[in-house]
Structures are given as C-alpha cells and as structure tokens.
C-alpha cells in the first residue's frame, strides 16, 4: 500500500465521521497531526496494539454471550426462565462502537488504516502482502456510527426470531392420514425445517411407507409457508391433526412473517447510519458476503436454467421409477447411505455417541481419518467443545485464541441418532475450519473466512464423508464408498434445490425494501407469490405442480436474514475445492492442502478462491462435469 495514499484516504474517511460533538475543525486537524503515524514502524506497532485490543474485546463479549445464551440454546443448562429469554436478546458489544468513537480510538484506527471498497480489494489486493491484507481488514472495523440502541434492537429481534424457530417442533406421531391412520411413532419430534427435510430424505430408503410419509411431510411444509398450520400443532405433544384437512382449528396468525418484519424494521433503523451501504441488502452482500446480490442472482439462474438440470432430473426419474414430485428437490439417492437402513445406522451412532462427551472423545480419531497427523488431530480437537442443542444444531466460532469453537447438535437421551450424527459431522467441519483460521492464522485481523459460504464449504466437505468417518461399518466398503460420478450428481442436485430457495429469500428482501410499511399478512402473500414464480420458472418444468410454495419453507428466512445464498455459494466453492483436493491422492496430503487453504483467512471471496484453487467462484466446473457424466447415461436415450 502506498503510504501517502492511505494517509489522505484515512483522513478523509475520519473527517466524514467526525461530528461537532467530537470537536471543532481545528481540534480535528490537531488530532490528526498527533495520531497519524509518521513511520512504517509506528504503523506496524499501532496495528499490533489495535489487533490485540479488538481480539480481547471480541473474545470477552463472545464468552459472556455464550454463557447468557446457554439456557435458551442448550438442553443441559436447565429450563430457561423469563430472565434467560430477556437476556437472549442482549448484546455485550452494542455499545462498543459508540465507546470507541467517544474515546476516539476509532478515529485513530481510521486515519491510519482506511477502508477499501470491495472493488478496490479485489484489484489492489492481488499484490498485497499478508500484513497489508490484515491492515485492510482493520480498516473495515469502524466504517459507520450506528448507535448502541439500534445495534441492541437488531440483536434482540434476531434473538426473538431464533427463539421462535428453536421451538418450532412438529410432533409427527400426532399426524393422521385422511382415513385416520398414524404413520410415525408417538415420540417422533421433528424441528422445522431441518428435521422435516432430513426425514423426507431418509424416507427414500423406505419402500413400504416412504412415499405416503413424504407426501404428508410435503403437506405440512406447505401449511407452514402459507400459515395454514394450526397454532396448536406447533410444539404441542397433545394436538392431533390431519394436514390434509382444510377445516382446521385456528391457524398460526402470521407469526412467521411477523418475525421477518421485525428483523426488517431493525435493519431500517440501521440504514440511516450507513451512508456507504444504505440498506440491509447492500450491507449483507457488498460488505458481508462481499459478492454483489446481482452477481449471485445471475450465477444461480445460470445453473437453474441449464440443460444439465433436465439431464440429471431424467436420471432421478429413472432411479425412482415414477414421475417426479416437488419434494424430489431433496432426492437423496445419489448418496451411498440412501440404500442403507437408517435404523441400523442409528443403532450404530447411538452406541458410539450416547452423549456429547462421547463425540468429543472421538474427534481426534475423526481428524486422523481425514488425514491429520495424531499430534495435529489432538491439538485441533482440544480447541473444540461439544454441546447438546435445543435447536437443529450449529457451530459457534471462537472469536479469540483463548476460546474454543463450539459444536452444537441434538442428542436425545437415547443417544445420537444418525441424523444427529450427520449434522454433527457437518458442524465439526465448521469447527475444524474455525480452529485452523484462528489458532493457526498469522494475523488476528485475517482470522476467519471470506464469508459464511466458505465455512459451509468446509462443513459440506466433512458431511459428505460421514459414513467413511465411522470406525467400522457392517455394510461393507462397496456400500460406503461413493463413485465420483454420484458425488458430482449429488452436489449438483443440492445446488439446484438450494439456489431456488436462495432466489426466493433474496427476492423477498427486495420486496420488503420496496414495501417498508407492509404488514405480516402482506409479506406472507408476497413471499408465497415469489415462491410460486421461482418454482414455475425453474422447477415446474422438471418436478411438476404449478404454483408450488415449497421453496419458502426454510427457517433461515426467519432467523437468519439473507443467509441462505451462502449455501449454494458454499456448494460451488465445495465442488471447486473437491476437484482441487482430488489431486492430493493420500489422506495426509489431502489434510495438509486442506489446512493450507483454510489458513488463507479472510481475503475477499474472489482472491481467496484464486489463491486456494487457481480460479474465482464459478459454476462452469460442475456444469462441465455433469455434462460429461450425463451425456453417456442411459436415461438420456
């Protein structure tokens, strides 16, 4: 970075945020004269000091947050009480930015470490050193002055949405067919949407009741999206209902969409204080994902409209031996486990992992199976804790080098079932990445990944190998190892599903910003309409059924605003990583290259990918591979 360039830029940016309360113009000039670094060595020393201060603040606040949220997020922390629900929306960092501007440490940072736009990072960053990249990331810390009360509002609304979703359980044993039959055992409880989707996937292996159960789950999902689900059917062990019955009891009063509206209004409150990114959409994609929404939209539509979709659908249709149904977007038949008996898999995982401690004890072995040396496996595992989640499960990253990464998954009293194990392996992939790019990073300001899609790519890499990671299998190696072709088709079909979901999510937020005063009912109607439009354009020609609303069922739309596009992007990144890592033909070489890649840290998505695999994020590699596979498949005849 050119010294004079950063000096003028930093002073200009600081001046734009300086207010009368901070001092006069003369006082600003005197402040700059006193605190602008005169030499490179002064600037490096300041960088190191600020990095340490930020790490300690982020880490301490995160540790407090983790402790406060335990009753509402973990099953081993007792039943949450009223104070616990109140504190679940508390943000220890809400006043941090205000405090740093008040004591002027924020201005010290800005004048010496200015902010660079995404376009500038992608261009200038090609030639930056690691230290220059870390300094540029320091320049991203203080770019706005959002008041503490607004940040607290954002934290509270998102916590409220998270709590709502964490308890959105469907008691499957209470569902009835049109003729009054019970299909599931009484104690089968599935969280929407994660467990409902995973149950639907598992049912492809059930040749007796699979189709009937899938149709019922499909009906339940539609009622969730349209808010036609009875209020009493949500998280209620006593209410018995038939999802096909139109004469239902009182339905949920647009609560799902009220939570989304609340999140939107919190973002609106932030908008006024973010002149460089004046909408939640811009902040999410330009500053968070660091890929413009329009670019992602175009990328997703290119795959959805490709000829390869029809070719893979023909293979799915041939394998199922029937015409496709809307829920076949979750067809799981390309995975080796679809032909396996899930009850047998569950018996194995329950025996291996009766509790969180058992999975924790197994982590070094899992790492060794992936190719890590014993010493490295023990070290990485020592920085990860395993905890039983109330919700579907998630990975909670470490924010400093004195804090562990936290793996959360559902573990019933009977032990970890196969679905829980599969999710746990996914979250373990997150945690391994989080440890590598925190504890083994060269600069704290580069800790992490470009965006959450890149940690999802790591999680997908691990999750795809869940059966291979089991210590032994009664099914034989031929059933556990998947062919390269099936792995490619599985990844492609997953992209096809989640890209449509993401388009609905992005379009919903565009509609919200175009209709800021909309009611929850109006948002529900708009979201349903958007879901139908995307379905009719890209899915009806393949899966049938006009005006299907299934693409709007993901709970992320409620509790993780604009997060969903990270999943298809993560699949794209995963495929490019898989293609690259396939060149490393031993587990040890695989693990070393995986670690090299995930120690690149928080570069921009484009530059990270170029340094990782030699090319920017692209759907071309997987389209090329799918075309090669399907061109000679019998289903195309």
Spatial CA neighbour of 549 closest among 526, 568, 566, 571: 526
Q: Write down the H helix ranges in 338-415.
A: 342-352, 356-369, 374-382
Encoding tokens for residue 510?
A: 């565009």
Tell me the per-residue pLDDT of 21-76, one tens digit each, with 9 for 90 and over: 999 999 999 999 999 999 999 999 999 999 999 999 999 999 999 999 999 999 88
What predicted TM-score, i.e. pTM, was given to this entire model? 0.85
For 89-112, how does the pLDDT look when each residue is reduced to its tens digit (9 = 90+)?
Answer: 888 988 899 999 999 999 999 999
Asked if 612 contacts 584 with a C-beta cutoff of 8 angstroms, the reply is: no
Rounded to an integer, what distance in angstroms lies between the CA atom of residue 628 and that of residue 492?
Answer: 13
- The proportion of the chain whose per-residue pLDDT surpasses 90, expressed as a percent, equals 81
As a whole number of angstroms, the distance between CA 482 and CA 336 comes to 6
Write the burial class of residue 420 (CB in 10 Å: 0-12 exposed, 13-18 middle, 19+ buried). Answer: buried
Please state, rounded to an integer, the average pLDDT across all residues of the chain. Answer: 92
Q: Which of 158-172, 241-255, 471-485 shows the lowest mean pLDDT across its residues?
A: 471-485
Q: Six-digit token pair at 597?
A: 């890649």
Q: What is the pLDDT of residue 130?
A: 98
Q: Note the pLDDT of residue 4.
A: 54
Model pLDDT, residue 480: 36
Using one digit for the tens of pLDDT, what is the confidence trace for 591-605?
999 999 999 999 999
What DSSP string describes 461-474?
A: HHHTTTTTTSS--T
pLDDT band at 77 (very low <50, low <70, confident <90, very high): confident
Cα gap 547→564, rounded to integer Å: 21
- Distance (Å, rounded) from C-alpha 598 to C-alpha 580? 14
Tell how strand 189-191 and strand 169-171 pair up. antiparallel
Residue whose C-alpha is closest to residue 542's, from 292, 218, 313: 313
Highest mean pLDDT among 274-283, 333-342, 441-450: 441-450
Q: In Å, how far from its chain's centre is CA 270?
A: 23
* Amino acid 249: pLDDT: 76
**Residues 480/467, Cβ–Cβ less than 8 Å:** yes
Query: Are the C-beta atoms of 316 and 493 separated by less than 8 Å?
Result: yes
**Residue 475: its pLDDT value, please?**
43
Under DSSP, the state recorded for 387 is E
pLDDT digits (tens, 9 = 90+) for 120-153: 999 999 999 999 999 999 999 999 998 889 988 9
The reported pLDDT for the residue numbered 471 is 85
Distance between CA 399 and CA 236 in Å, rounded? 37
Q: Which residue has the tokens 């055992």?
A: 185
3-state DSSP call for residue 75? Answer: coil
Q: For residue 592, is the peptide bond before it cis, meaning its omega torsion is within 30 degrees of 0?
A: no
The residue extents of the domains of the chain are 3-142, 340-479
- Are 134 and 43 in contact by the 8 Å Cβ rule? The answer is no
Q: What is the pLDDT of residues 367-381, one digit of tens each?
A: 999 999 999 999 999
CB 391 within 8 Å of CB 69:
no
Find out whether 100 and 142 touch, Cβ atoms under 8 Å.
yes
- pLDDT for residue 474 is more than 60: no
Is the pLDDT score of 459 beyond 90? yes
Please check the confidence at residue 484 and state whether its pLDDT lies above 90: no
- Compute the average pLDDT of residues 517-530: 98
């Amino acid at each position: 970075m050119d010294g004079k360039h950063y000096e003028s830029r930093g002073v200009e940016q600081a001046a734009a945020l300086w207010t009368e309360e901070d001092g006069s113009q003369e006082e600003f000039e005197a402040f700059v004269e006193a605190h602008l670094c005169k030499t490179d060595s002064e600037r490096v020393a300041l960088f190191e000091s600020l990095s340490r201060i930020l790490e300690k603040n982020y880490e301490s606040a995160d540790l407090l947050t983790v402790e406060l949220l335990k009753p509402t997020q973990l099953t081993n922390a007792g039943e949450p009480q009223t104070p616990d629900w109140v504190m679940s929306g508390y943000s220890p960092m809400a006043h941090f930015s205000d405090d740093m501007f008040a004591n002027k440490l924020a201005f010290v940072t800005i004048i010496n470490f200015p902010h660079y736009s995404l376009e500038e990072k992608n261009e200038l960053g090609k030639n930056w050193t690691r230290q220059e990249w870390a300094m540029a990331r320091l320049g991203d810390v203080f770019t706005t002055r959002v008041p503490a009360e607004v940040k607290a509002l954002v934290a509270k609304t998102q916590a409220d949405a998270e709590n709502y979703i964490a308890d959105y359980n469907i008691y499957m044993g209470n569902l009835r067919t049109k003729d009054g039959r019970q299909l599931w055992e009484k104690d089968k409880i599935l969280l929407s949407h994660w467990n409902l989707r995973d149950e639907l996937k598992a049912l492809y292996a059930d040749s007796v009741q699979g189709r009937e159960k899938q149709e019922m789950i499909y009906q339940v999902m539609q009622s969730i999206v349209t808010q036609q689900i009875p209020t009493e059917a949500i998280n209620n062990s006593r209410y018995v209902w038939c999802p096909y019955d139109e004469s239902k009891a009182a339905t949920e009063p647009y609560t799902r969409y009220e939570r989304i509206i609340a999140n939107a209004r919190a973002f609106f409150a932030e908008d006024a204080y973010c002149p460089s990114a004046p909408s939640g959409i811009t902040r999410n994609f330009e500053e968070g994902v660091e890929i413009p929404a329009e670019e992602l939209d175009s990328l997703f539509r290119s795959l959805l409209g490709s000829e390869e979709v029809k070719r893979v659908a023909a293979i799915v249709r041939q394998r199922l031996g029937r015409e496709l149904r809307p829920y076949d977007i979750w067809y799981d038949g390309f995975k080796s486990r679809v032909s396996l008996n899930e009850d047998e898999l569950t018996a194995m995982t329950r025996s291996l992992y009766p509790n969180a401690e058992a999975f924790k004890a197994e982590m070094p072995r899992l790492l060794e199976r992936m190719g890590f040396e014993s010493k490295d496996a023990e070290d990485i595992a020592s920085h990860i804790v395993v905890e039983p989640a109330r919700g579907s499960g998630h990975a909670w990253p470490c924010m400093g080098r004195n804090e562990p990464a936290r793996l959360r998954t559902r573990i019933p009293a009977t032990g970890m079932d196969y679905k829980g194990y599969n999710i746990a392996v996914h979250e373990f992939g997150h945690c391994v990445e989080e440890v590598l790019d925190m504890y083994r990073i060269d600069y704290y300001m580069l800790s992490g990944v470009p965006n959450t899609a890149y940690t999802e790519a790591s999680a997908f890499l691990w999750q795809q190998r869940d059966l291979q990671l089991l210590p032994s299998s009664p099914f034989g190696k031929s059933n556990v190892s998947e062919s390269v072709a099936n792995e490619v088709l599985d990844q492609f079909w997953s992209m096809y599903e989640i890209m449509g979901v993401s388009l609905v999510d992005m379009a919903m937020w565009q509609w919200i910003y175009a209709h800021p005063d909309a009611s929850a009912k109006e948002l529900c109607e708009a979201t349903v309409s958007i879901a139908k439009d995307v379905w009719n354009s890209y899915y009806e020609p393949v899966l049938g059924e006009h005006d299907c609303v299934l693409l709007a069922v993901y709970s992320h739309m409620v509790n993780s605003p604009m997060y969903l596009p990270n999943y298809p992007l993560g699949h794209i990144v995963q495929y490019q990583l898989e293609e690259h890592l396939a060149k490393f033909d031993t587990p040890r070489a695989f693990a070393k290259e995986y670690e090299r890649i995930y120690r690149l840290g928080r570069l921009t998505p484009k530059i990270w990918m170029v340094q990782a695999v030699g090319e920017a994020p692209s759907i071309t590699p997987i389209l090329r591979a799918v075309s090669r596979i399907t061109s000679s498949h019998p289903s195309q005849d």
